[in-house]
């Protein structure tokens, strides 16, 4: 994505391999890999190599979601499942909208492997502040629909939606959330960091103030699970697919399971 220069690509591969030496036994992969990406971006002289990919993902996801809403009534539970399914589907260029729509319709008809959505909704009834932690571009349009349904069902909530401060792979930044008009469903905030997930000690104090005040926290994707799961915070609900074996093993579920936990 960054260069067609084969020699530079080879040098970047060696540079990246050397950076893997930063990994320790107790390292959190999401944090270490983010820092490797930052160093690699600097080495390659690029700020956001995934920019075009993210833009095409957003356009495709928005189009597909509009088509889905045109053919079916989306309630709160269906919107939650769509948000999880959005984490499953790869919005890569070359993946036809028809195929994505077909896959989504198939997935939302199935059950979640672990489904704590009713517990989540019950907590939202009594909550005052909701913090929503986004994951990737593309799927953010499904997040926005879910947040819209949350707003309709729980109008008393003060909703904050967090994006990354700086570009990191295809994660949604504050600018991506603004472009997708998330201010229509809540207050957009920055984590204060470009690192994947919520790396305590790296995020801003402004973000931590809202994190502490939140009554309920909804965290999308594996990166947020990797960085938050060890604190055992009962306010946090994870919406994700267990895409890799380590995360599936940690959760005690089959690889590929869709979860609201």
CATH 3.20.20.70 fits domain 52-260: no
Residue entry with tokens 């984590």: 191
CA atoms within 13 A on the CB side of 235: 18
Angle between helices 51-71 and 140-153 (to 10 degrees): 50
pLDDT band for position 97 (50/70/90)? low
Strands (E), the chain: 114-115, 129-133, 158-163, 187-190, 216-220, 236-241, 258-260
Sign of the alpha-carbon torsion through 36, 231, 260, 178: negative
pLDDT band for position 96 (50/70/90)? low
DSSP 84-117: HHHHHS---TTS-HHHHHHHHHHHHTSPPSEE-H
Strands 187-190 and 114-115: unpaired
pTM of the model: 0.95
Closest among 33, 32, 40 to 16, alpha carbons compared: 40
User: 235 vs 103, which has greater pLDDT?
Assistant: 235
Q: Is pLDDT at 98 greater than 90 in this prediction? A: no
Residue pair 78/112 in contact by the 8 Å Cβ criterion? no
DSSP 21-83: GG--TT--HHHHHHHHHHHHHHHHT-S-TTHHHHHHHHHHHHHHHHHHHHHS---HHHHHHHH
Q: What is the pLDDT of residue 29?
A: 87
pLDDT band for position 87 (50/70/90)? confident
Closest among 158, 161, 153, 159 to 76, alpha carbons compared: 153
Q: In what order do the strands lie in the sheet with 114-115?
A: 114-115, 258-260, 236-241, 216-220, 129-133, 158-163, 187-190
Q: Kindly report, residue by residue over 107-137, the tens digit of the pLDDT.
A: 898 999 999 999 999 999 999 999 999 999 9
CA–CA dist 17, 15 (Å, integer): 6
User: 96 vs 111, which has greater pLDDT?
Assistant: 111
Q: Is pLDDT at 142 greater than 60 in this prediction? A: yes
Q: Kindly report, residue by residue over 206-216, the tens digit of the pLDDT.
A: 999 999 999 99
3-state secondary structure of 14: helix
Token digits of residue 209: 């103030």
Mean pLDDT along residues 147-172: 97
pLDDT band for position 90 (50/70/90)? low
Q: Kindly report, residue by residue over 37-62, the tens digit of the pLDDT.
A: 999 999 999 999 999 989 988 998 99
The whole-chain average pLDDT of the chain stands at 93
Q: Where would I find the H helices in 159-200?
A: 174-179
**No. of helices (H) and no. of strands (E), the chain:** 11, 7
């Amino acid at each position: 994505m960054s260069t067609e220069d084969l020699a530079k690509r080879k040098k970047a591969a060696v540079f990246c391999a050397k950076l893997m030496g930063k990994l320790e036994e107790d390292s959190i992969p999401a944090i270490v890999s983010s820092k490797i990406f930052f160093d690699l971006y600097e080495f390659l002289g690029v700020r956001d190599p995934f920019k075009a990919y993210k833009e095409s993902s957003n356009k495709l996801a928005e189009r597909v979601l509009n088509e889905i809403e045109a053919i079916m009534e989306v309630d709160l539970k269906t919107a939650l499942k769509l948000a999880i399914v959005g984490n499953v589907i790869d919005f890569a260029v070359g993946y036809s909208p028809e195929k994505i729509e077909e896959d989504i319709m198939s997935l939302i008809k199935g059950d979640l492997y672990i489904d704590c959505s009713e517990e989540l909704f019950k907590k939202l009834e009594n909550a005052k502040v909701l913090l929503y932690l986004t994951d990737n571009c593309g799927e953010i349009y499904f997040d926005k629909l879910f947040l819209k349904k949350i707003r309709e069902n729980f109008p008393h909530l003060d909703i904050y939606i967090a994006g990354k401060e700086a570009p990191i792979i295809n994660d949604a930044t504050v600018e991506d959330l603004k472009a997708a008009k998330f201010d229509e469903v809540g207050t957009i905030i920055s984590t204060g960091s470009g690192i994947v997930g919520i790396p305590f000690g790296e995020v801003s104090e402004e973000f931590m103030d809202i994190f502490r005040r939140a009554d309920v926290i909804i965290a999308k994707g594996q990166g947020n699970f990797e960085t938050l799961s060890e604190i055992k915070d009962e306010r946090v609900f994870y919406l994700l697919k267990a895409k890799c074996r380590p995360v599936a093993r940690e959760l005690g579920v089959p690889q590929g399971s869709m979860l609201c936990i």
